[in-house]
């Protein structure tokens, strides 16, 4: 009997094929790495503000470094792993792994993913990748130090990084890519094949649209980076020279530029892979909390699709300074700037949703509106990097760092936090404390803007990125104070996340039981009483209404109608 019980525990919580359990597993993994990667960011900021001064006790300097002093090697490891972890181990599992898994089947009225076992393998591959990645910290030479882009020849043994950390990094990333690919195929097929009766494509909630388009992009572009990484792995381990040329090469025919192309063919879509789920979720939440249908939902979807297509042909704007042919440079610039058309239409639709709404400022709404602000800034500052001439000056400076933190870190993270506050009652059947949620928003929003905006100012003043010690340069002397104030705000930002951690964990343990539909939302997941059993819907729902039927005058007494409820006549 006890044996049987133990087996149940394992299949129920560990090797589960239930998409809701896998979603939680991804969420915990993502949150762990978010804290881990975020902490590394604080160490980086300390070094930039107080170069070569011992780390303070609250950053646990003595624990990591002798005398709390960071060397250039440590610093290179820090920013490399910070970037890698935040992108592939924090944001990807949180938004795509956790919410992709949780939302898609529930919102389209499916009993589970199309391939539940593949789904489970996807998580455990990611888990294996995490172990490989974390193991690289234990090596005597330390973890990878070639930047998150890991351009060869620097990332090959002949280029100076000889330790196995870089090899494990390549391996871990390939494994993480495999996991993402398995998830992507699963999501795509689930959406195509398992929608409930009546759930046409345009009746799918925008959050599902975002996640679905992301999965399509993942399925197309992850194999490209995987190919590049495997070639890099061969260069590192068995001495091939795919990406080595010039003085270091012993055979002819390799090309470091090839890696950059392969990397950015994946790397630019990756930005949209991360942002599309956040966009979808934000569009969805703005509609729920404005008690109003999403403004121009079809146009929003068409814009998202346009951006997916465009994003795959603009990668060259990461490479303007590589000595690109003028014709190519101009073409990439034109294509990149084209993205601003769908983006602005998209953005206006967000404002249109708020227009004449009935706005409720619950924590998910605050974060969703925060995305309007941070993505506005992030998107607009992309113009400088898209333009060849201004990019000549700003490329590889802190400006770029500030810009992509606005788009990727701020927008995606706020989207993810909005999603956590919104779906927490459905995931854990408990309520989160709304007051702490609102405090968390403000103590994140203000320091975050100070940090990322002034990073761009640093870049405008000339500070190049991945710089161990800015005090080496005279032209950076005027901004050394700015570096200090940014660091202070970064530390405030980092430690204020403890409010969220407390609220999250305390609510799971001690939280009040949540009602089935606390936000009065109309998508299918809210029709289910929690805890939702394996298999989700007792009877497959039939869908009658669009995903954002709020304040419809045909419905009396309340301002919403569930998707599965026939419209009163």
Partner 1 sequence: MVKNTMKIWLKKIKSKTKNITWTAWGIWYIDPPKDVSLDGYRIDNVIQYTDTVITIYFSIVILALIFFIFKYRTRPGHTAVYDKGDTKKHVLATIAMGLLVFFSIDTVIEAMSFRDLKEAFWNFPKGKNVVKVEVMPQQFAWNFRYPGSDGKFNTEDDVVPAQNLMHVPVNTPILIQIAPFDVIHSFYIPNFRVKQDATPGMVNAMWFQATETGKFEIACAELCGNGHYRMKGYLTVESQEAFEKWLADNAPQEDDDDWDDWDTEVDEDNREIPKEWGWTWKEIQ
Residues between 250 and 309 that touch partner 1 (CB under 8 A):
254-257, 290-299
CB of 22 to partner 1, least distance (A): 35
**Residues 306-335 interacting with partner 1 (rule: CB under 8 A):** 321-323, 326, 329-330, 333-334
Quick one: 217 or 394, whose CB is closer to partner 1? 394
Quick one: 58 or 475, whose CB is closer to partner 1? 475
Q: How far apart are CA 275 and CA 267, in angstroms?
A: 13
Near partner 1 by CB under 8 A: residue from 239, 478, 535, 566:
478
Indicate left, alpha or beta for 294 from its phi (over 0: left) and psi (-120 to 50: alpha). beta
Residue 237 in contact with partner 1, rule: CB under 8 A = no
Residue 358 in contact with partner 1, rule: CB under 8 A = yes
Near partner 1 by CB under 8 A: residue from 223, 450, 499, 516:
450
Near partner 1 by CB under 8 A: residue from 128, 248, 305, 516:
248
Using a 10 angstrom Cβ sphere, with 0-12 exposed, 13-18 middle and 19 or more buried, the burial of residue 135 is middle
**Residues 126-145 interacting with partner 1 (rule: CB under 8 A):** 145
Structure tokens at 473: 């340069």
Quick one: 297 or 432, whose CB is closer to partner 1? 297
Quick one: 397 or 527, whose CB is closer to partner 1? 397
Check if the beta carbon of residue 199 is closer than 8 Å to that of residue 209.
Answer: no
CB of 477 to partner 1, least distance (A): 10
CB of 71 to partner 1, least distance (A): 8
CB neighbourhood size of 52 (10 A): 12
Give the range of 168-176, 188-196, 227-235, 549-557 binding partner 1 by CB under 8 A: 549-557
**Residues 76-115 interacting with partner 1 (rule: CB under 8 A):** 76
Check if the beta carbon of residue 347 is closer than 8 Å to that of residue 376.
Answer: yes
**Residues 378-397 interacting with partner 1 (rule: CB under 8 A):** 380-381, 383-384, 387-390, 392-397
Near partner 1 by CB under 8 A: residue from 13, 442, 475, 502:
475
DSSP 3-state of 556: coil
Quick one: 218 or 349, whose CB is closer to partner 1? 349
430 pairs with which residues across the strands?
Answer: 513
Check if the beta carbon of residue 210 is closer than 8 Å to that of residue 104.
Answer: no
Structure tokens at 256: 């470091």
Near partner 1 by CB under 8 A: residue from 35, 219, 227, 348:
348
Residue 431 in contact with partner 1, rule: CB under 8 A = no
User: Distances from the Cα of 102 to the Cαs of 512, 525, 541, in angstroms?
Assistant: 21, 9, 17
**Residues 479-538 interacting with partner 1 (rule: CB under 8 A):** 479, 481-482, 484-485, 488
Residues 6+ apart with CB under 8 A from 550: 287, 288, 290, 291, 292, 293, 522, 559, 560
Residue 461 in contact with partner 1, rule: CB under 8 A = yes
On the question of a cis peptide bond just before residue 531, with omega within 30 degrees of 0, the verdict is yes
Q: How far apart are CA 311 and CA 555, in angstroms?
A: 41
* Per-residue contact flags (x/-) with partner 1 for residues 359 to 378, judged by CB under 8 A: xxx-------x--xx--xx-
Q: How far apart are CA 34 and CA 40, in angstroms?
A: 10
- Angle at Cα 25 formed by Cα 19 and Cα 28, nearest 5°? 140
Nearest one of 359, 368, 373, 342 to 284, comparing CA atoms: 368
Quick one: 405 or 548, whose CB is closer to partner 1? 548
Residue 467 in contact with partner 1, rule: CB under 8 A = yes
DSSP code at position 159? G
Residue 342 in contact with partner 1, rule: CB under 8 A = yes
366 φ, ψ (degrees, to nearest 5): -60, -45
CB neighbourhood size of 13 (10 A): 12
CB of 196 to partner 1, least distance (A): 22
Quick one: 347 or 423, whose CB is closer to partner 1? 347
CB of 336 to partner 1, least distance (A): 9
Residue 56 in contact with partner 1, rule: CB under 8 A = no
Give the range of 223-231, 462-470, 509-517, 519-527 binding partner 1 by CB under 8 A: 462-470
Residue 558 in contact with partner 1, rule: CB under 8 A = no
Q: How far apart are CA 28 and CA 432, in angstroms?
A: 17
Quick one: 393 or 502, whose CB is closer to partner 1? 393
Structure tokens at 299: 């146009």
CB of 278 to partner 1, least distance (A): 18
Quick one: 65 or 460, whose CB is closer to partner 1? 460
Check if the beta carbon of residue 460 is closer than 8 Å to that of residue 394.
Answer: yes
Near partner 1 by CB under 8 A: residue from 72, 239, 531, 566:
72
Residue 247 in contact with partner 1, rule: CB under 8 A = yes
Residue 462 in contact with partner 1, rule: CB under 8 A = yes
CB neighbourhood size of 307 (10 A): 22
CB neighbourhood size of 568 (10 A): 9
CB of 7 to partner 1, least distance (A): 50
CB of 246 to partner 1, least distance (A): 3
Binding residues for partner 1, total number by CB under 8 A: 112
Quick one: 349 or 563, whose CB is closer to partner 1? 349
* Per-residue contact flags (x/-) with partner 1 for residues 143 to 182, judged by CB under 8 A: --xxx---x-xx----xxx---------------------
Near partner 1 by CB under 8 A: residue from 11, 62, 312, 340:
340
Check if the beta carbon of residue 503 is closer than 8 Å to that of residue 432.
Answer: yes
Quick one: 220 or 482, whose CB is closer to partner 1? 482
Structure tokens at 223: 């194999």
CB of 421 to partner 1, least distance (A): 18
Torsion of CA 267, 272, 273, 274, to 10 degrees: 100
CB neighbourhood size of 506 (10 A): 14
CB neighbourhood size of 86 (10 A): 25
């Amino acid at each position: 009997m006890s044996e049987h019980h133990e087996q149940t525990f394992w299949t129920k919580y560990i090797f589960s094929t239930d998409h809701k359990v896998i979603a939680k597993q991804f969420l915990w993994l993502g949150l762990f790495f978010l804290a881990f990667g975020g902490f590394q960011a604080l160490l980086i900021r300390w070094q930039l503000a107080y170069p070569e001064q011992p780390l303070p006790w609250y950053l646990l300097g003595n624990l990591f470094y002798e005398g709390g002093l960071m060397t250039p090697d440590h610093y290179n490891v820090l920013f490399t792993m910070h970037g890698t972890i935040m992108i592939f181990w924090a944001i990807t599992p949180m938004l795509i792994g956790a919410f992709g898994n949780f939302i898609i089947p529930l919102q389209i009225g499916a009993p589970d993913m199309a391939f539940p076992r593949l789904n489970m393998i996807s998580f455990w591959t990611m888990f294996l990748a995490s172990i490989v990645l974390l193991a690289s910290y234990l090596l005597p030479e330390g973890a990878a130090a070639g930047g998150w882009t890991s351009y060869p020849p620097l990332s090959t043994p002949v280029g100076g990084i000889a330790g196995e950390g870089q090899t494990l990094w390549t391996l871990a990333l390939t494994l993480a890519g495999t996991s993402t690919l398995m998830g992507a195929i699963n999501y795509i097929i689930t959406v195509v094949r398992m929608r409930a009766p009546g759930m046409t494509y345009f009746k799918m909630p925008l959050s599902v649209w975002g996640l679905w388009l992301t999965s399509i992009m993942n399925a197309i572009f992850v194999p490209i980076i995987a190919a590049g990484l495997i070639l890099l792995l061969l260069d590192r381990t068995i001495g091939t020279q795919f990406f080595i040329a010039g003085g270091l090469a012993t055979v002819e025919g390799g090309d470091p530029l090839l890696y950059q192309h392969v990397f950015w063919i994946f790397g630019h879509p990756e930005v949209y892979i991360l942002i599309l789920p956040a966009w979808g979720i934000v569009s969805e939440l703005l509609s729920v909390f404005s008690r109003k249908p999403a403004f121009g939902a079809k146009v929003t979807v068409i814009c998202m699709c346009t951006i997916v297509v465009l994003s795959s042909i603009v990668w060259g704007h990461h490479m303007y300074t590589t000595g690109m042919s003028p014709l190519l440079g101009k073409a990439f610039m034109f294509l990149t700037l084209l993205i601003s058309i769908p983006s602005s239409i998209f953005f206006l639709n967000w404002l249109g949703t708020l227009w004449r709404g009935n706005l409720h400022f619950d924590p998910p709404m605050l974060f969703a509106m925060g995305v309007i602000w941070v993505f506005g800034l992030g998107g607009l500052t992309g113009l400088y990097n898209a333009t060849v001439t201004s990019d000549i000056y700003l490329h590889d400076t802190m400006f770029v760092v500030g810009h992509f933190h606005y788009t990727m870190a701020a927008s995606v993270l706020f989207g993810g936090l909005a999603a956590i506050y919104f779906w927490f009652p459905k995931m854990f059947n408990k309520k989160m404390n709304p007051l702490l949620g609102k405090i968390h928003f403000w103590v994140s929003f203000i320091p975050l803007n100070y940090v990322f905006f002034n990073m761009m100012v640093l870049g405008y003043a000339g500070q190049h990125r991945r710089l161990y010690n800015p005090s080496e340069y005279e032209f950076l002397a005027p901004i050394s104070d700015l570096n200090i104030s940014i660091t202070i705000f970064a530390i405030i930002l980092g430690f204020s996340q403890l409010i969220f951690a407390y609220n999250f964990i305390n609510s799971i343990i001690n939280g009040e039981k949540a009602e089935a539909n606390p936000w009065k939302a109309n998508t299918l997941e809210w029709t289910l009483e929690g805890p939702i059993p394996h298999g989700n819907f007792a009877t497959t729902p039939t869908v009658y209404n669009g995903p954002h039927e709020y304040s419809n005058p045909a419905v009396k007494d309340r301002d919403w109608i569930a998707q599965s409820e026939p419209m009163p006549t």
